[in-house]
Amino acid sequence: MERLSKAEIGFNGLVSSIETVVKNWHPPDLKTEGAYSDGPSNYLRAVLPEDARVEREYRHEGTTCDLCVLYNGILSSSQVLFELKRNLRKKSDYDRLVGQVEGLKPKRNNIFVVMVGDTDPALFGRLKEQFKDHAERVLLSEVKFKIVLVA
């Protein structure tokens, strides 16, 4: 995939632009969740404008997210916080993920949840329902919350 331009991100918004590129990321089958964190960070570094910063294990307001994109755009700067979940099959893993996302304050921050591996469809649906209020557009503003299932 080609590198995104600042104009594309300015027109489509950072979260929507990232959603497009993450949907085009096709990771190999890896054994651990940590190994999957390297994939999107390297991929995003390759497709976002060169001045975008992609950091793993990013510390944010007392919690740590798996990945963060810091971007200085044409009109403003923003950040997108990522949680990556591999093989969401158990309710205890679901509860932990919900707690992690809530700790990132989805009302105030741009958040991206990337699901990889074997994901229970019922838990995936429950996750989308849990955060649906954050995933909807408010007037003309950009959507601040996305959940993407990567095959």
- Answer whether 84's CB lies under 8 Å from 37's CB: yes
Is residue 143 a contact partner of residue 12, using CB atoms and an 8 Å limit? no
Is the pLDDT confidence value at 139 over 70? no
Sorting pLDDT into bands at 50, 70 and 90, what band is 137?
Answer: low
CATH number for the region 6-150 comes to 3.40.1350
Give the percent of the chain with pLDDT over 90: 34
Kindly indicate the confidence band of residue 3, based on its pLDDT and cuts at 50, 70 and 90.
confident
* pLDDT at residue 76, rounded to an integer: 61
User: What's the pTM?
Assistant: 0.84
pLDDT at 26: 81
